Structure 1
Amino acid sequence: MADTTESTPAPEPHAPVEVLDTVEGYRDAVERLAEGTGPFAVDAERASGFRYSQRAYLIQVYRRGSGSFLFDPPAIGDFSELAAVMAGEEWILHAASQDLACLREVGLDPGEIFDTELGARLAGLPRVGLGTVVQDLLGIHLAKEHSAADWSTRPLPQSWLVYAALDVELLPDLRDRIAELLESAGKTEIARQEFAAVLRKEPISRQEPWRRLSGIHAVRQQRNLAVARELWTARDDYAREIDSAPGRLVPDASLLAAARAMPATKRDLAAMKDFNGRASRSQLDRWWAAIERGLTTTDLPVSRPPGDGMPPPRVWADKNPAADGRLKRARAAVVELSESIDIPTENVLTPDTLRRVAWTPPAEIDALSVGAALSELGARDWQVALTAQVIADAFVELRQGPEDPANADS
């Protein structure tokens, strides 16, 4: 591993950096990428926090022997030629799950990936941000000051483009270094399964998304919740309409302040100091109409959404002491296992998977039955192979041992 006390500045990109926003420039870049060798390094820049959509506003692709190319997705539109050239080859991404959706939106869908963020995590690196990993493994200081920029800006500043090009130009060397670490630790197959799982993971579809309002848990009355729901819906519709991040129009705290206060008139709403944001007054009619709908609707939301039958672990000791004991003993065993193989506990087995098998264990507990339960819950083969026996032993020891693990340190 590189000496983290010293690092060299990031190199300049291999070629002059420009955004390709014409079909001719795009097709020329595709031809040059086809002439390169090895995997494709890919990154995408969005405008999270600025725009409603999560579309890509810049897509960077680098391949050895070809160079790096920065594409403007809104201007180019159709990426079928690039997708054809990249088909059948490995794609290198850092934190792939963040970019796959917006890449797939324009028709760029990898069949095989190497995720340098996930690979670094599995290799046991303590910090896995791109800048940190590049410095630790390649000895190069990569500035990350533009990572949260508004990439829908046009024209894009040259300093941003240099940053974007370097993000992909360093990925092949980083991929090779992480692959060496994984191979030396006997984790290559683990990484392969985890990378494949990233590609298979379905996006989360949330019911009642308005319940994601920050602080909504403190609102208990159904009528107040109805007002909060209608305000959230009105804001979401308007944000989608003008392609703006909802929180930039009216923050969550303001919506909840109005839902708690239940203003009686539009004038009362306008007088609320806690109801602010750049669209709080310019769209006052919109917000007041939403409040009126919340005040008059007969479709009142339940105070708490229905759960999945499994309460939060903090109440297990009272509601199901046996499950609480199983969870605490098994969790301690999985933590010990994760430390021995230098993989974060949440990657060895997700906390939710462990909770579910502890809450509803197999009728006959052994490695085979626990392994089948873990597989049913979505655990990968390597996770089952490593943890099934450990968890089964923990469950059996709980039945046999005099010590009550429910009183153990969690």
Structure 2
Amino acid sequence: MTDTDAARDAELDPAPDATPAVDLIPLDMPAEGVPPVVETERALMEAARAIRAGEGPVALDAERASGYRYGQRAYLVQLRREGAGTWLIDPIACPDLSPVDEAIGNAEWILHAATQDLACLAEVGLRPRQLFDTELAGRLLGLPRVGLAAVVEHYLGLSLAKEHSAVDWSTRPLPEPWLRYAALDVEVLVDLRNLMGVDLARQGKDGWAREEFEALLGFTGPAPRIDPWRRTSGMHKVRHRRTAAMVRELWEARDAIARDRDVSPGRVLPDAAIVDIAMAAPSSPDQLPGGHRAVRRYQRQWLEAVARAGQIPEDKLPPMTLRSDGPPPARAWAERDPVAAARLSQARADLTAYAADRNVPVENVLSPDPLRRVVWTPPADRSAEGFADALARLGARRWQTDIVAPMVARAFADHPDADADRPDAE
């Protein structure tokens, strides 16, 4: 788990559980001790043979250094299987882990927060045929907190230390306490999977989980963002297209420096400094704002970026906001189309009530975007089957469409058409 994983856990687990405190058993040493790191081809083949001879599912994890290095590559891969023990593999020294992938074969993978690791594991030749995600299972089960440490506490009564979650995993050699932490992350996953599987079946959600896990098999990473520079922290201060163009050119110059140096872009120059430079629009070194040594260190690149933005013709400047291909914000629906607003309100209410009754986050039953899209631009067939097909085309799973499509169809039946004159209505 990396610094970004730790930040995600903080977001997932924003406050301590309100249940009474219990005495937790600290989990601070792997059952078989800390294994040596696999750093040679011979050791890698030994690991593959051991994993092939093991039995049952395989617990996996990966450690990245995204807060320190450019990109999301893995700097340590951990695996554990019954009968094979725990293996810690250095994917920098052994960049092709396909022998391990072949050894795993069709065995089930167990991961926590699979979307965080699947892409970097695929880069080194590891791809699942079936998997179980303990974080996603925790969401479906309605756990109040779904970070790994919280799930371990809930199911195993163990305290899993996370003090090394934000370290620089590109460090070599890796310190023993870090390796101990990494080994413990996979040691708990099989027990978690078994207990959570029982709870999923007991709550009638095992079918949901199977569909969700199958959908993850094709996950190759988040979709590339359009104009990622627009997410620069502090963009709300920018009021003019020319200044926005300067932010873009500065962001791209910083990204090129970070890629060349293999460091996190934020370590080259913080977002706040990018916005400060763009707002100042300097034409000479003495006009550059202070506050960060990288402003002076790379002053030539920053001034060139500002100059490039200054030469862009007015009609080629980036718009202040991107045109969305989706419906307008829900807050605008009441004025633009009151009937659509009423339909959305009813469908949302039914969905929220269902989620509360089944103790599952409403966004896991269906994310807000596909619901808004099918209500604003409904299919020609407005039966439950028609809405199910429309939601499936937007990425909803079968279990989700079975739940939500009848709700949407009922909302349309309860609020008859009055939108024939709306320009963008189907």
The TM-score range, normalised by the shorter chain, is over 0.9
Shift of 1:355: 0.9
Larger CA deviation: 41-50 vs 352-361: 352-361
Q: How far apart, CA to CA, are the structure 1 residues paired with 2:41 and 2:74?
A: 17
Corresponding residue number in structure 2 for 1:249: 268
Query: Aligned with 1:59: secondary structure?
Result: strand
219, 222, 225: which one aligns with 1:206: 225
291, 308, 323: which one aligns with 2:340: 323
User: Counterpart of 1:304 in structure 2: which amino acid?
Assistant: T
**Given that residues 329 and 395 in structure 1 are in contact (C-alpha distance below 8 angstroms), is that contact kept between their aligned partners in structure 2?**
no
User: Counterpart of 1:370 in structure 2: which amino acid?
Assistant: F
Q: How far apart, CA to CA, are the structure 2 residues paired with 1:76 and 1:52?
A: 19
Shift of 1:364: 4.6
Shift of 1:382: 0.5
Q: Quick one: structure 1 residues 67 and 258, their matched pair in 2 at CA, closer, same or farther if it must change by over 3 Å?
A: same
**Given that residues 60 and 165 in structure 1 are in contact (C-alpha distance below 8 angstroms), is that contact kept between their aligned partners in structure 2?**
yes
Corresponding residue number in structure 1 for 2:6: none
**Given that residues 3 and 136 in structure 1 are in contact (C-alpha distance below 8 angstroms), is that contact kept between their aligned partners in structure 2?**
no
**Given that residues 41 and 61 in structure 1 are in contact (C-alpha distance below 8 angstroms), is that contact kept between their aligned partners in structure 2?**
yes
Query: Aligned with 1:195: secondary structure?
Result: helix
Larger CA deviation: 72-81 vs 389-398: 389-398
**Given that residues 283 and 303 in structure 2 are in contact (C-alpha distance below 8 angstroms), is that contact kept between their aligned partners in structure 1?**
no
Query: Aligned with 1:42: secondary structure?
Result: strand
Corresponding residue number in structure 1 for 2:38: 20
Corresponding residue number in structure 2 for 1:178: 196
Corresponding residue number in structure 1 for 2:374: 357
Corresponding residue number in structure 2 for 1:197: 215
**Given that residues 327 and 358 in structure 1 are in contact (C-alpha distance below 8 angstroms), is that contact kept between their aligned partners in structure 2?**
yes
Superposed CA offset, 1:83-124 (max 9, x none): 101121100000000000100011111111100000111112
**Given that residues 249 and 280 in structure 1 are in contact (C-alpha distance below 8 angstroms), is that contact kept between their aligned partners in structure 2?**
no
Corresponding residue number in structure 2 for 1:406: none
Shift of 1:7: 1.6
Q: How far apart, CA to CA, are the structure 1 residues paired with 2:392 and 2:21?
A: 39
Q: Mind listing any 5+ residue stretches in structure 2 that lack a counterpart?
A: 1-18, 418-426
288, 294, 312: which one aligns with 1:297: 312
2:83 is aligned with 1:65:
yes
Superposed CA offset, 1:338-390 (max 9, x none): 11112210010111111111111234532122212111211111011111112
User: Counterpart of 1:295 in structure 2: which amino acid?
Assistant: G
**Given that residues 101 and 126 in structure 2 are in contact (C-alpha distance below 8 angstroms), is that contact kept between their aligned partners in structure 1?**
yes
Query: Aligned with 1:51: secondary structure?
Result: coil
Shift of 1:211: 1.3
User: Counterpart of 1:198 in structure 2: which amino acid?
Assistant: L
Larger CA deviation: 138-147 vs 92-101: 138-147
Q: How far apart, CA to CA, are the structure 2 residues paired with 1:260 and 1:206?
A: 24
**Given that residues 283 and 307 in structure 2 are in contact (C-alpha distance below 8 angstroms), is that contact kept between their aligned partners in structure 1?**
no
Corresponding residue number in structure 1 for 2:110: 92
210, 231, 244: which one aligns with 1:225: 244
Q: How far apart, CA to CA, are the structure 1 residues paired with 2:397 and 2:326?
A: 24
Larger CA deviation: 192-201 vs 35-44: 192-201
**Given that residues 249 and 278 in structure 1 are in contact (C-alpha distance below 8 angstroms), is that contact kept between their aligned partners in structure 2?**
no
Q: How far apart, CA to CA, are the structure 2 residues paired with 1:3 and 1:190?
A: 31
Superposed CA offset, 1:189-230 (max 9, x none): 110000111222453022222112123244231111111111
**Given that residues 248 and 277 in structure 1 are in contact (C-alpha distance below 8 angstroms), is that contact kept between their aligned partners in structure 2?**
no
Query: For this pair of structures, how many residues does the alignment match?
Result: 395
Corresponding residue number in structure 2 for 1:145: 163
User: Counterpart of 1:366 in structure 2: which amino acid?
Assistant: S
Shift of 1:11: 5.4
Query: Aligned with 1:314: secondary structure?
Result: helix
State the TM-score, normalizing by the size of structure 2.
0.89
2:284 is aligned with 1:265:
yes
Q: Mind listing any 5+ residue stretches in structure 1 that lack a counterpart?
A: 401-410
Q: How far apart, CA to CA, are the structure 2 residues paired with 1:147 and 1:278?
A: 28
The sequence identity of aligned pairs, in percent, is 48
Query: Aligned with 1:73: secondary structure?
Result: coil
- Point out 4+ residue stretches in structure 1 off by more than 4 angstroms: none
**Given that residues 9 and 140 in structure 1 are in contact (C-alpha distance below 8 angstroms), is that contact kept between their aligned partners in structure 2?**
yes
Corresponding residue number in structure 1 for 2:357: 340
Superposed CA offset, 1:3-54 (max 9, x none): 9622211152133322211222221121111111101100000002111121
Query: Aligned with 2:88: secondary structure?
Result: strand
Corresponding residue number in structure 1 for 2:154: 136
User: Counterpart of 1:13 in structure 2: which amino acid?
Assistant: P
Q: How far apart, CA to CA, are the structure 2 residues paired with 1:111 and 1:51?
A: 30
